[in-house]
Structure 1
Amino acid sequence: MEAERRDAESLAIPLLLEEDEKKPQKLVEKDTDVEAQPIGHYSAAAGTTSFFKTCFNGLNALSGIGILSTPHALSSGGWLSLIVLFLIAAATFYTGMLIKRCMDADPNVKTYPDIGQLAFGKKGRLVVSVFMNLELYLVATGFLILEGDNLYNLFPIDGVEIAGFRIEGKQVFVIAVALIILPTVMLNDMSMVSYISATGVLASIIILGSILMAGTYDGIGFHEKGRLLDWNGIPTAVSLYAFCYCAHPVFPTLYTSMKDKSKFSKVLLLCFIFCTIIYASMAVSGYLMFGSNANSQITLNLPLNRISSKVAIYTTLINPIAKYALMVTPIVNAIEDRLADSIRKSAGPVIRTSLVISTMIVALAIPFFGSLMSLVGAFLSLTAAVILPCLCYLKVSGTYRIFRLKLVVIAGILLVGILVAIIGTYTSLAEIIGHL
Structure 2
Amino acid sequence: MSELSETAGLIQPVFMLQPYDKVRGLSGAPPRAHGLTVFTTAVFAVGEMAGSGVLALPRALVATGWIGVVINIVCALASAYTGLLLGKCWLMVQGRYEEYKTNTRYPYPAIGFVTYGKVGRTIVSCSINLTLFGVSVVFLLLASENLQQLVKDAGKDISFCIWLLIAAAALCPTSWLGTPKDFWPIAVGATVATSIACIIIIANIAVDAENAPPTFHPDIDVKDFFMAFGTICFAFGGHPGFPTFQADMKEPQKFGKAIFLAYFILLLMYLPVAIAGYSVYGINADDNILLNLSGGPMQYIVEILITLHLFFGFVIVINPVCQEMEELVGIPTHFTFKRIISRTLIMVVVLFIAESIPHFGAILSLIGGSTTTLLAYILPPVFYLKLCSMEGDWEQQTPSLAQKVACFEIMLVGLVAGVASTYAAVDALATSSFSTPCYIDFHKAAM
Q: TM-score, normalised by structure 1?
A: 0.84
Task: Return 5+ residue gaps in structure 2 as ranges.
Answer: 16-30, 391-396, 435-447
**Which residue does the alignment assign to 1:298?**
289
Q: Give per-residue Cα distances to partners, 1:84-134, cap 9 Å, x unaligned.
A: 111111111111011011112121455100110111001100110000111
**Which residue does the alignment assign to 2:327?**
337
**Which residue does the alignment assign to 1:12?**
none
**Which residue does the alignment assign to 1:104?**
91
Root mean square deviation, CA, Å: 2.8
User: 1:38 touches 1:114 (CA, 8 Å); kept in 2?
Assistant: no
Question: Among 253, 256, 277, which residue is 1:262 paired with?
Answer: 253
Q: Equivalent residues in 2 for 1:117-266 (5 A)?
A: 117-156=113-152, 169-217=159-207, 227=217, 230-232=220-222, 233-266=224-257
Question: Among 85, 94, 97, which residue is 2:72 paired with?
Answer: 85
Task: Return 5+ residue gaps in structure 1 as ranges.
Answer: 1-16, 22-27, 160-168
Compute the displacement of 1:208 (Å): 1.0
Compute the displacement of 1:209 (Å): 1.4
Compute the displacement of 1:316 (Å): 1.6
Q: Equivalent residues in 2 for 1:7-22 (5 A)?
A: 17-18=1-2
Give, in whole Å, the separation in 2 of the partners of 1:182 and 1:297. 24
Single out whichever of 319-328 and 108-117 deviates more from structure 2.
108-117
Give, in whole Å, the separation in 2 of the partners of 1:350 and 1:186. 9
**Which residue does the alignment assign to 1:6?**
none
**Which residue does the alignment assign to 1:64?**
51
Compute the displacement of 1:185 (Å): 0.9
Question: Among 410, 421, 426, which residue is 2:407 paired with?
Answer: 410
Compute the displacement of 1:343 (Å): 10
Compute the displacement of 1:219 (Å): 6.1
Q: 1:35 to 1:336 in 2, by over 3 A?
A: closer
**Which residue does the alignment assign to 1:324?**
314
The amino acid of 2:273's aligned partner reads: M
The amino acid of 2:232's aligned partner reads: Y
User: 1:226 touches 1:287 (CA, 8 Å); kept in 2?
Assistant: no
What percent of counterpart residues are identical?
25
The amino acid of 2:48's aligned partner reads: A
Compute the displacement of 1:18 (Å): 3.0
Single out whichever of 229-238 and 177-186 deviates more from structure 2.
229-238
Give, in whole Å, the separation in 1 of the partners of 2:145 and 2:330. 40
User: 2:362 touches 2:429 (CA, 8 Å); kept in 1?
Assistant: yes
Compute the displacement of 1:278 (Å): 0.9
User: 2:113 touches 2:121 (CA, 8 Å); kept in 1?
Assistant: yes
The amino acid of 2:195's aligned partner reads: I
1:382 aligns to 2:363 (yes or no): no
Compute the displacement of 1:187 (Å): 1.1
Runs of 4+ in 1 over 4 A off after TM superposition: 35-39, 44-47, 156-159, 218-226, 341-344, 399-403
User: Aligned with 1:338: secondary structure?
Assistant: helix
The amino acid of 2:315's aligned partner reads: A
The amino acid of 2:146's aligned partner reads: N
User: 1:215 touches 1:221 (CA, 8 Å); kept in 2?
Assistant: no
When the two structures are aligned, how many residues end up with a matched partner? 398
Give, in whole Å, the separation in 2 of the partners of 1:308 and 1:423. 38
User: 1:100 touches 1:252 (CA, 8 Å); kept in 2?
Assistant: yes
User: Aligned with 1:249: secondary structure?
Assistant: coil
Single out whichever of 292-301 and 386-395 deviates more from structure 2.
386-395
Compute the displacement of 1:216 (Å): 2.6
Question: Among 424, 427, 435, which residue is 2:421 paired with?
Answer: 424
Single out whichever of 72-81 and 386-395 deviates more from structure 2.
386-395
Compute the displacement of 1:184 (Å): 1.3
Give, in whole Å, the separation in 2 of the partners of 1:198 and 1:100. 22
The amino acid of 1:78's aligned partner reads: G
User: 1:181 touches 1:321 (CA, 8 Å); kept in 2?
Assistant: yes
1:393 aligns to 2:384 (yes or no): yes
Q: 1:424 to 1:104 in 2, by over 3 A?
A: same
